[in-house]
Chains A and B, each alone.
Chain A
Amino acid sequence: CALHVICCNAGQFFSSGHTNNWAVLVCTSRFWFNYRHVANTLSVYRSVKRLGIPDSHIVLMLADDMACNHRNPKPATVFSHKNMELNVYGDDVEVDYRGYEVTVENFLRVLTGRLPPSTPRSKRLLSDDRSNILIYLTGHGGNGFLKFQDSEEISNVELADAFEQMWQKRRYNELLFIIDTCQGASMYERFYSPNIMALASSQVGEDSLSHQPDLAIGVHLMDRYTFYMLEFLEDIHPASKTNMNDLFKVCPKSQCVSTPGHRTDLFLRDPGSVLITDFFGSVRKVELTMDAINLTDPIKQMEENPVNGEEQKEVYSYADQLPVSEIIHQKPKQKDWHPPDGFILGLWTLILLVFFKTYGIKHLKHIF
């Protein structure tokens, strides 16, 4: 994280109102020919990490593995530029949800925080009411929906309701929603919670197109909108003052073929005053104080049990790895309860007696 030490002007500190940054980056497509969606997500991940958001504050969801896919001619790499110029996968990547775990249910649970109690911290979005969250979605979409892994969809109504839940639970301060799919603008049409700014790569009725194929890898590497957004973000550094109006101008129709759209009516501040690093970076603000603070005494280590003095009578040993005779004589444990044998006999006797009682005693003398 970058430190901005601003002396003597406390009012300037909290002009944006946020104290921490989170990012939820989701790639929803499976299969090798959707390489570009994974590259899109990883390039945003790379920018966000470079500008300071740590891995513990990023929830990265990749629906399929492209880097170590057997079709990948250069394993452990995901490239964004042709001729393999930039490896966005890198050497230090932590994917929180991968493969079959990327489902609509898990995505909504991450956003709303309703996860089972044993979910580890790295898979949770632990944001509070002072968090700025960046949400990036990419994949195949249509008018009002986004396809997850070719088997289910999330609709724009569900997404809007999830954001409203987040607002009511005070899980965000400001939210930036970016989507790079076909007809992406339809996904933000239904938002109704305050403090949300949304960007999409294409309008309703338009398709988002991919950028360029690489002949060695054999698939398209990136989508146009995210490609130009990555180029724009590469020029941003943690102290830059670029604002959102510049981000809205990324990828005009001449470069993108589709018309990117944005929505700012729910956002309280003017987009011109919102810095890119408010969402993409993790700028920490530091307050200087001249007062002395008394620290409590250091914790004393507990006294060790006098293990050294006492002689351990017990000698340990390793277990036998394949004790053949022990295994052969091992009785399998009876798990199921079987009724005692006498019960069956008694049951049949009872049945016979009832039979003879009802149909006449004269049959009985043939038995006894």
Chain B
Amino acid sequence: MEAAHWLVLLMTLVPSSVPQPKDDFQEELVIRPLHSGDIYASFQFRTLWDTDFMRENKVSHYRLFPKSLGQVISKFSVRELHISFTQGYWRTMQWGQPFIPSPPGAELWVWFQDSVTDVDATWKELTNVLSGIFCASLNFIDSTNTVQPSASFKPLGIGNVTDHSFLRYATLPREIVCTENLTPWKKLLPCGSKAGLAVLLKSEKLFHSSFHSQAVHIRSVCQDWQCKTTSWELRQTVNSVFDLHNSGQAKREWSLFKMFSRTLTEACPLASSSKLYIDITDNPQGEQFELSPATSLLSQAVVLGDRRTFSVYDLTQETTFGSVRSLNLLIRWKSNEGEMLRPLLHAERYVAGYGLQTGEIHTLMYNNHPYRSFPVLLLDSVPWYLRLYIHTLSVTSKGKDNKPSYIHYEPSKDRVKPHLLEMLIQLPPNSVTEVTVQFERALLKWTEYPPDPNHGFYVGSSVISSLVPSTVAMDTNSTRERPLFSSFFPCKEESSYFVRIYTEPLLVNLPTPDFSMPYNVICLTCTVVAVGYGSLYNLLTRSFQIEEPNPGLAKRIANVIRKMRGVPPL
């Protein structure tokens, strides 16, 4: 039915002498069993479209590319847009590196085109429009939590010009992700959630996970290896880590049905490729786990500095689904051995100190490589109500002072903009680098407190971008047909790969007034005034008269008789 619909649409269009902009849709799912027993599932849906959003005649015919995002790109002259919604925190030490990193909460960073004259106004409008599209409170992004990084967040797409005045970055660590964010996200896909891999995206299972992140990435990419023309790429990604011990399974075995409560029955008819990859690098002879139904397709890819082997299930082939017409992968674990490769770069952050006046932010970065050192770029965006004392900033590695080769600091302005601190630090091999800075907590005005101020205030995650040395040669030929999970970050040199890590967000308590105080004061004051002053006034101004008590009935009758007789009353 989809094909017939498409055919009718094609026939009612312009005569074939004018070429249609070509668009292409691919979907893939990578499943990687982790050493801690969890399963990491990464969905990527990519739509490529060679069209030009920036020309004067507006693009009017949308096919696979969603119209709402296309209109956003052309109206706000967006060069790149990256938005992610995450619930949970990625545990690098237990799970390794994710394919697409994201911080807890919502994160939005946008590169605008050079033609934009007022970037701040465009940014404000863009956040409002996106809050409507994704049903999120992105309208809380304003100048108090937006920063303009000077060296981090270089464009991930095509472009030589990198004037950072066209870049804006904001994060909302408090933002909640739930089905109302997944629903519009799913509606952006060409097949929706009705066919292909997106049928597995059931909210009841996805949000019952240790980590869930959904993102949209829009950028320009090379069309082919010559890279003379570009096309727009829209990637929608979902990264989830499921903890199967959580759901009460005693045996270590899982299947697509257990994870997603659905099985796969067909590929999306509009997709040119629809594949399912299972990471079997740690299982070369089948001694760790057993995979069924078996497949003979294998593929190797270099991703995150390592060469991994994958079993591939091609959903566009009828044979993958077998006679039951549905694919339910089953993995049965046999042994518990095997150690995970320690990630080379790892970071933590916490608040030290006591009381509600001062504190200290500590950021720890671990370089686990035995003999190579590499540079990291640390980006910290601290809200204005934590007043940083930059003169107490210290960076130490192995106990000695480690002077950063580049520091960019923009001080905050109360209620206008946050602190921005960017540093390029060289991490020595096999060491821990500690960055500490002291701060003082500000007292907010009483209208600026949220309705639940005793929860605390969030400080967004630090972003650590780094070029980590890789154990195998990375593939720099970025325009060849590669699986989607290995082609997200562009690769310029073979010996290292780019990685971005987010630390934990911080939760700090600010000195919170007692909001019931005005009411209590008014009650107490009025009571004191009424009781105290009122009593005093009465004592001073009242005059007392003696009053005869009322005589009884018998006495009254006797008095009446005595009056009649002329005798004085009783």
- Asked if A67 meets B132 with Cβ closer than 8 Å, knowing A118-B125, A319-B154, A328-B424, the reply is no
CA distance A65 to B498 in the complex (A): 36
Is A231 part of the binding interface, using a Cβ–Cβ cutoff of 8 Å?
no
Is B473 part of the binding interface, using a Cβ–Cβ cutoff of 8 Å?
no
A100 contacts B177, C-beta separation under 8 Å: no
| Closest CB in chain A relative to B75 CB, distance in Å | 11
| Closest CB in chain A relative to B248 CB, distance in Å | 12
Is B544 part of the binding interface, using a Cβ–Cβ cutoff of 8 Å?
no
A98 contacts B375, C-beta separation under 8 Å: no
**Total A-B pairs in contact (CB under 8 Å)?**
164
A317 contacts B160, C-beta separation under 8 Å: yes
* Cβ–Cβ < 8 Å partners of B204 in chain A: 74-77
Is B151 part of the binding interface, using a Cβ–Cβ cutoff of 8 Å?
yes
* Cβ–Cβ < 8 Å partners of B206 in chain A: 76
Is B19 part of the binding interface, using a Cβ–Cβ cutoff of 8 Å?
yes
How many B residues have CB within 8 A of the partner chain? 70
B424 contacts A68, C-beta separation under 8 Å: no
* Cβ–Cβ < 8 Å partners of A31 in chain B: 452
A91 contacts B180, C-beta separation under 8 Å: no
* Cβ–Cβ < 8 Å partners of A89 in chain B: 179
Is A240 part of the binding interface, using a Cβ–Cβ cutoff of 8 Å?
no
Is A294 part of the binding interface, using a Cβ–Cβ cutoff of 8 Å?
no
Main secondary structure of the interface of B (DSSP, over half): loop
* Cβ–Cβ < 8 Å partners of B13 in chain A: 301
- Chain B window 114-138, contacts with chain A (Cβ cutoff 8 Å), 1 for yes, 0 for no: 0000000000110011011101110
Is A341 part of the binding interface, using a Cβ–Cβ cutoff of 8 Å?
no
A300 contacts B14, C-beta separation under 8 Å: yes
B176 contacts A99, C-beta separation under 8 Å: yes
The segment from B226-234, B265-273, B348-356 found at the interface with A is B226-234
A330 contacts B151, C-beta separation under 8 Å: yes
In the complex, what residue of chain A is closest to B223 when comparing beta carbons? A316
Per the 8 Å Cβ criterion, residues 52-100 of A in contact with B are: 65, 67-68, 74-77, 89-96, 98-100
CA distance A75 to B490 in the complex (A): 36
- Chain B window 470-498, contacts with chain A (Cβ cutoff 8 Å), 1 for yes, 0 for no: 00000000100000000001101000001
State which size class the interface on A falls in: 35 or more
- Chain A window 125-153, contacts with chain B (Cβ cutoff 8 Å), 1 for yes, 0 for no: 00000000000000000000000011100
- Chain A window 311-340, contacts with chain B (Cβ cutoff 8 Å), 1 for yes, 0 for no: 110111111111110011010100000000
A100 contacts B450, C-beta separation under 8 Å: yes
Is A296 part of the binding interface, using a Cβ–Cβ cutoff of 8 Å?
no
Is A121 part of the binding interface, using a Cβ–Cβ cutoff of 8 Å?
yes
* Cβ–Cβ < 8 Å partners of B405 in chain A: 324, 328
11 pairs across A/B with beta carbons < 8 Å? A75-B208, A90-B179, A98-B136, A100-B140, A123-B131, A303-B18, A317-B227, A318-B157, A319-B158, A319-B490, A332-B408
A binding-site residues for B, Cβ under 8 Å: 30-31, 65, 67-68, 74-77, 89-96, 98-101, 116, 118-123, 149-151, 298-305, 307-308, 311-312, 314-324, 327-328, 330, 332
Given contacts A91-B179, A122-B135, 8 further A-B contacts (CB under 8 A): A76-B204, A119-B128, A316-B230, A319-B157, A319-B158, A322-B466, A328-B424, A330-B406
Closest 7 CB pairs of A and B: A120-B132, A318-B490, A68-B178, A118-B128, A149-B451, A76-B207, A301-B14
B binding-site residues for A, Cβ under 8 Å: 12-14, 18-19, 55, 57, 60-61, 87, 124-125, 128-129, 131-133, 135-137, 139-140, 150-151, 154-160, 162, 174, 176-180, 183-184, 202-204, 206-208, 222, 226-230, 375, 377, 405-406, 408, 424, 450-452, 465-467, 478, 489-490, 492, 498, 515
